[in-house]
Structure 1
C-alpha cells in the first residue's frame, strides 16, 4: 500500500471531504502537499493527502513514478496508466474507509503524470467522485473513456502554453474527447507558463473544488 504526507481538516473537526494530490514523474508526495496547505483555509472541512508513487523513478534517483516514462508514446502511456490504476484505487479505498467517506466526497488533483492517473482513475471509480483537477496533464486512452467511465465527474484542465514537457496540445485534445464522452470540462491556459502550476491555476483549482465538494 502506498502512503504519503497528510493534512487534516483546518476546522479541527472530522473530514467531510478528501482531496488526493497525485504528483508528477520524478517527484514524491512532498512535491504537492503544499498545495493542500495553500487550499486548507478555503476548504476547512477537507483532508488532504499526497501519496508517493509506488516505483522508484527510472531517471530521478530520489523521485518516484506511477509508471515508466522513457518516451512520450501514447500507447505506452495508456498501458502504464492502466497498470498503475489498481494501486491508486486501493489507496483511495483505504483513505475513504479510514475517514468514513464515500466516493461522492472525493476529488482527485494531479500534476503531469499524476494528472494522467487522476483522469484515468477518477471516471472509473465504482461510484461517481466529486471532481478532477488536471495540471499539465494528458488524457490517456481517450477512445476508451466513454465505454469504461462509471461516473462523469466535472473536470478542470489547467496548462501552460509554454510547456516543453507535456505540450499544451494535450489540453486541446482532451477537451473535445471529454465532451464527446459526456463530461463537463472547464479549462484554462496560462500564458508563458512552462511545466508547472502558477497562482492563477491554484486559484482556479480552489474555486473549482469549493463548487464540487458540497
Structure 2
C-alpha cells in the first residue's frame, strides 16, 4: 500500500501528547495547511502537527510546481449543478465517495502509523480538513474506533451514503464555511449537518459572512478553540 508523508511540526513542549493531522484540498499539498499548526501551537503546545500530501497527482498539472495533489479525482464535480439542482447532490457525493475509498484506506493506515510513532491512543487524534480534505477527514474519522478527539472541517462536504451503518465513533465535529463559497456551496455544509444529526453525531457549525472558498480569521480562531476544548474533554479535563 502507498504510504503518505508531508511537512511536520513537533510539539512545542518537546513531547507530543496530542496529534493534529491537517488534510489539504484539491490541487494543493501538505505545505498549504501546515501553517495552521503554527497558528495553533500556543493553544496546543503539546500537539504534534503533520500535513500529509494526498497520494494522487492531478493529470496534466505543470511539473515542477508546488501542489497538484488530489485525494480523489473530481471528474463528476460541478458546483454550478449543485446550485441549480440540489436534488443532484446525493448522487454526485455518492460517486465521489466511491472515488475516495482507495485514498481513505491509505489515510487510515497513515493515522495508525503516526499515532504509533508518538505512542498515542486513537482518542488523542484530531483531524482538520479543508475542502476535499474535509471530505476525507469526515469519511475516515467517523469510521475509526476509538473515535478521534475532534474533526474540524473547513469549506467541505460529507461524502456518499451509508453513514448510519458505517459510523464507528461519534466525535465532536465543527464545520466552518463561507457563505460566498463558489467552489463548495454552503448548502453542502448544511446537508452534512443534517446527515451527521441523523447518525447521532454531535456537530456544530459557523458561517463566515462574505467568505469564499477559504479560511478567515474568525474560523481560524474558532477552530483552534474547538480543538483545545475537544482534546480537554477527551482527556477527562486534563489538558
TM superposition score normalised by structure 2: 0.86
- Deviation of 1:59 after TM superposition, in Å, equals 5.8
- Deviation of 1:176 after TM superposition, in Å, equals 1.2
Number of the residue aligned with 1:205 = 223
CA contact (8 A) 1:26 1:64 kept: yes
- Is 1:184 aligned to residue 165 of structure 2? no
Number of the residue aligned with 1:121 = 140
Distance 2:61 2:191 in 1: 29
Number of the residue aligned with 1:38 = 39
Number of the residue aligned with 1:70 = 75
- Is 1:7 aligned to residue 9 of structure 2? yes
- Aligned positions of 1:1-214 closer than 5 A: 1-12=3-14, 14-58=15-59, 60-61=61-62, 62=65, 63-72=68-77, 73-141=92-160, 143-214=161-232
Distance 2:94 2:141 in 1: 20
Name structure 1 gaps, 5 residues minimum: none
Distance 1:82 1:70 in 2: 15
CA contact (8 A) 1:158 1:190 kept: yes
Distance 2:205 2:213 in 1: 16
- Deviation of 1:42 after TM superposition, in Å, equals 1.1
Distance 2:93 2:127 in 1: 22
The SS at the match of 1:213 is helix
CA contact (8 A) 1:58 1:68 kept: no
TM superposition score normalised by structure 1: 0.96
Count residues with an aligned counterpart: 212
Distance 1:133 1:118 in 2: 8
Distance 2:25 2:153 in 1: 11
The ranges of structure 1 where at least 4 consecutive aligned residues each deviate by more than 4 angstroms after the TM superposition are: none
CA distances 1:107-162 after superposition (whole Å, capped 9, x unpaired): 00000000000000001113211010010000001x31111011010100000000
Distance 1:59 1:140 in 2: 26
Higher Rg of the two aligned structures: 2
Distance 1:75 1:15 in 2: 37
The SS at the match of 2:142 is helix
